[in-house]
Amino acid sequence: MKHKYLVIIFVFIVSMGCSLAQVAATQVTETPTSVAITDTIPPPLSKPELGTAENPLILALAPSSNSQAQVDAAKVIAAQLKQRTGYEIVVVTSDSYSALVDAFEKGNAHITLLDPLSYELGYQKGLFKAGFAIIKNGKALYGSQFIASRKGGFRSYFDTTTQTNTADASTALAQFANKKPCWSDETSPSGYVIPFGILNKNQIQTQPAAFVQGHTTVIRSIYAGGICDFGATYIDARKFPSLEDQYPDLMEQVIVIWHVPEIIPYSVLVFSTNMPQSMHVLFTNSIPAILQTDEGKAAFRSAYAIETLLPVTDADFSEFHEYIDETHLNLSILIR
């Protein structure tokens, strides 16, 4: 009887051993199969080539250029660019310059016309390259002027006969140390940003400024006295018709202390850095050709108020970049 129980126990152990072995074998053979599943995931789809119908180039209008006539004119420009380059181009509008810069950052804009500070913001971020400067009054750049009241005892370092400065900025502007400036507004390149940058560059510390909202208001404030000691405007805001009529002795009482060189662009036509260099060159060559046609010239005039363009690079605005850097202003906050 004892032998019978031993046989039963032995058979049970052998049968259990076979079952465990089968389970272990099953686990080993399933492991490689589960790992191999990852090899079957397809790679992400690549974005269609820029300039194709699936991924067209985007010609953006400035916020002030959103009328239907301006949109239609931009579409004429887009059609002529497509004819000359072969690339698909669509036209979009924007609500603000900040939104326009943001569109470049997201890859939703490739060509547009920008004001100086919006151009600078995108330049600092590496979003686009300057292609053309807009010509106004025969010039692509303009300057600024520091002004003060003759009664304030300030010395002028500007020769009105030769229209040239007679000293460098550090010498001429040192007299403004601890004095109170009147600036036009926080987004004015000539009435605040560049003059402020020049003062900082030359380590001239002033009292807190008064932002009086307008170049003519700066001049009125200097003339009236008691508001600020000096200010800055475009050249020469003193000759604004209403000012000359109101203050016959204005030109003698409000004097130019120093001229900021012509370093500020009126507007800049830019190309996204997402565009390949060969594409950039092709468009740079095509736009002047379009401006040579009657239809193209009318379209640029209507869409962007452009009459004449000057080919430029970012290096052509090196002093402009330098003085804005000296301000340490947050352009993202200033631009609207």
Domain boundaries, the chain: 57-138+266-334, 141-265
pLDDT of residue 295: 96
* 8 Å CB contact between 268 and 312: yes
Of 171, 144, 160, the closest CA to residue 260 belongs to: 144
* 8 Å CB contact between 323 and 296: no
pLDDT of residue 47: 80
CA dist 109 and 89 (Å) reads 10
* 8 Å CB contact between 112 and 100: yes
pLDDT of residue 130: 98
Q: Which amino acid is at 226?
A: G
pLDDT of residue 8: 38
The helix or strand, by DSSP H or E, that contains position 333, with its residue range, turns out to be helix 331-334
CA dist 25 and 29 (Å) reads 6
Q: What is the DSSP letter of 330?
A: -
* 141-265 carries CATH number 3.20.20.80: no
pLDDT of residue 209: 97
* 8 Å CB contact between 147 and 238: yes
Domains 57-138+266-334 and 141-265 share a fold: yes
pLDDT averaged over 10-residue windows placed end to end, the chain, 336 residues = 41 39 39 40 72 96 88 97 97 94 96 97 97 95 97 96 97 98 97 98 98 97 96 96 91 97 97 96 96 96 94 98 98 92
pLDDT of residue 29: 39
CATH superfamily of the domain spanning 57-138+266-334: Periplasmic binding protein-like II (3.40.190.10)
Whole-model pTM: value is: 0.84
Half-sphere exposure of 176 (CA within 13 A, CB side): 34
